[in-house]
Structure 1
């Protein structure tokens, strides 16, 4: 309740929370396409490449201006993206290697420029390094308006080019075959990624901005196979992480906002990877256990079927030691076999006519006849 009271009464906190939430929302939406196109490292390259653009703008104007710094970061980010595409097109260097190369070169150049700036006898350069790690508390109302305008622009472009983005993301060759230029669409998408990164530099910083771009899409992908749902989920995850991270930062002394936001979205990613019904590690493990249990039951039933086919009386009972769906040695495996037979009996597929003497039922024979693929699967598994 104290946090919500603080949010209601503290103007600065409301501004920072709103800005972070909007930033997380638009970053999640745009980043979804970067995740699907396997260009997550592009966000990292562009964010690091923006540092020299900020430094050069400060050297030129000798004063701190957020709008001018963002313009320099935008130019540097677009230049880095263009250089990556040129390297990939005219050399044998792969995309990931080209992005890593540009990232390191631009970021190193930016650090050199920052070191030079620190030696300039001008007090205005103090705090310029905050763009490396971010400082959301410095967000002003005009910064919120800038984030809002760029967010509306990016979302509008996604709505307008939704069909083109969707086709190029999943099958660029098919897009070219039906008259959609995959290169032009990719350039538009890359420029949108650059823009979304630039508006987040002040809040999250150069180093952590790529996490806010990629993580919401990764988390959303675990919950759905539909692009529209994934984009909405990614935006929601990004907005929640921005808001919650800001509130956590404000409630704890000397807790930076950018890292808090990244930690929140990282927690969302961890929960999604672990708990999502379709792709979650936990549920996948449960399904594997269930599938293995079904295979074991089918193996037992199939062996009883084979024993029945080799006997004049199809429903003649057989001693449990004759049923060998696996190398059943030892008390634990024998107990496991009895549990499987009990499950099959509950389903009406086998029956225990005498103590530890089991026979297949008419329903069991019908089940084998209706599931020939299961029979083949178990033949392979048994071997």
Structure 2
């Protein structure tokens, strides 16, 4: 199935349209909220919350005996919030760091959740089948009501971000200053964390407990490479998340036996890899290009300074010197010499070189600047 066929199917096929819209909205909201988790250096938060939600799903099923999606997600939300507040309590009441607290809650809740799932699987009740979809996700189970719920949560998230944008920025970059201004930091922290929990819980049905943290972090990590502005980062993260959902769904729909959730995560990871390599400001490629350019510039300056010290001992700066003098100089290369010629700093006559007035003045300025810096 090519891309045009997929576009036609999106408009004509109810199931595919629902899944595409659902994954796009999920990617957008998790990308937005994931930006705050990444900037607060709480990358494990999404992993801990998603795993902490598993016992809530199992307990909700044990209580109701039904696989109603809304009921199970309410159980996951309650369990996720409990896990989140336990993490906060461990950090504030003990000397343990946040990564230790996140790891403890993640392993504790996930282990308890797996124990409950094992217990449920052994019950003589056919209705228990299918709960394991929350481990790895099953996007095909999305229905229109799920998409509307995601859209409503995304809308609420946007409203809250716009209303408390200043407070969120202060919380991210200068918590102590926010306290001095009289802001209730604890309330703001609970608010943004609660929305992160809600977004993660909504994504469990699509991506699953195991992979949900990637949906929260990957778009934000990719967006961080392209900008230093929080507003642009949030926008780009939402965009990358939405595209990950759409492209992941398209790839999954075009092939047989490809789970949508893992494919979405792989697509999001591709955005991260591309951003890490090709971002103009932080990308590895452009960083290497800048490093090579800076090294060449340094070699040119060192060679020019060496020539300056030689020329300064003569009455005329244009006095010719043999190139052999440069051969034992560490910074000298033939390419460096040619660059100096191209810039009209040096003239070459056979095997002899001499400084131009422009080259002498430039080297003199560099030498004087170096002396000032040393002082």
Regarding TM over 0.5, the answer is yes
The structure-2 alpha-carbon separation of the partners of 1:118 and 1:178, relative to structure 1 and needing over 3 Å to count, comes to same
The structure-2 alpha-carbon separation of the partners of 1:73 and 1:374, relative to structure 1 and needing over 3 Å to count, comes to farther
Match of 2:352 in 1: 357
* Within-5 A mapping of 1:324-335: 326-327=329-330
What's the offset of the Cα at 1:374?
Answer: 6.5
Q: Distance in 1 between matches of 2:44 and 2:144?
A: 31
Q: Distance in 1 between matches of 2:14 and 2:69?
A: 20
Deviations 1:309-348 (CA, angstroms, capped at 9, x unpaired): 22232221221122268437xxxxxxx7222111111111
Contact 2:56-2:75 within 8 A present in 1 as well: yes
**Which residue among 328, 338, 342 is the counterpart of 1:342?**
338
Unpaired runs of 5+ in structure 2?
none
Normalised to the residue count of structure 1, the TM-score between the two structures is 0.93
Deviations 1:34-86 (CA, angstroms, capped at 9, x unpaired): 11111110000000000000000000000011111111111111111111111
* Within-5 A mapping of 1:1-383: 1-323=4-326, 326-327=329-330, 337-352=333-348, 354-372=349-367, 375=370
Match of 1:331 in 2: none
Contact 2:32-2:234 within 8 A present in 1 as well: yes
Q: Distance in 1 between matches of 2:60 and 2:336?
A: 73
Normalised to the residue count of structure 2, the TM-score between the two structures is 0.95
Deviations 1:273-299 (CA, angstroms, capped at 9, x unpaired): 011111000111111111100000001
The structure-2 alpha-carbon separation of the partners of 1:256 and 1:361, relative to structure 1 and needing over 3 Å to count, comes to same
Tell me the secondary structure at the aligned position of residue 314 of structure 1: coil
Q: Distance in 2 between matches of 1:7 and 1:243?
A: 10
Q: Distance in 2 between matches of 1:371 and 1:30?
A: 49
Contact 1:44-1:103 within 8 A present in 2 as well: yes
262-271 or 313-322, larger mean C-alpha shift? 313-322
Q: Distance in 2 between matches of 1:47 and 1:373?
A: 60
Unpaired runs of 5+ in structure 1?
329-335
What's the offset of the Cα at 1:154?
Answer: 1.1
Tell me the secondary structure at the aligned position of residue 40 of structure 1: coil
Q: Distance in 2 between matches of 1:42 and 1:206?
A: 13
What's the offset of the Cα at 1:123?
Answer: 1.4
222-231 or 12-21, larger mean C-alpha shift? 222-231
Q: Distance in 1 between matches of 2:65 and 2:328?
A: 80
What's the offset of the Cα at 1:177?
Answer: 1.9
Match of 1:333 in 2: none
What's the offset of the Cα at 1:378?
Answer: 11
Deviations 1:229-288 (CA, angstroms, capped at 9, x unpaired): 111100000000001111111111111010010010000100000111110001111111
355-364 or 180-189, larger mean C-alpha shift? 180-189
Moved runs in structure 1, 4+ residues, more than 3 A?
A: 324-328, 369-379
Contact 1:348-1:364 within 8 A present in 2 as well: yes
Tell me the secondary structure at the aligned position of residue 33 of structure 1: helix
The structure-2 alpha-carbon separation of the partners of 1:150 and 1:106, relative to structure 1 and needing over 3 Å to count, comes to same
Deviations 1:181-213 (CA, angstroms, capped at 9, x unpaired): 322221111111101101100000001010000
Tell me the secondary structure at the aligned position of residue 354 of structure 2: strand
What's the offset of the Cα at 1:10?
Answer: 1.0
Q: Distance in 1 between matches of 2:134 and 2:372?
A: 59
Contact 1:303-1:324 within 8 A present in 2 as well: no
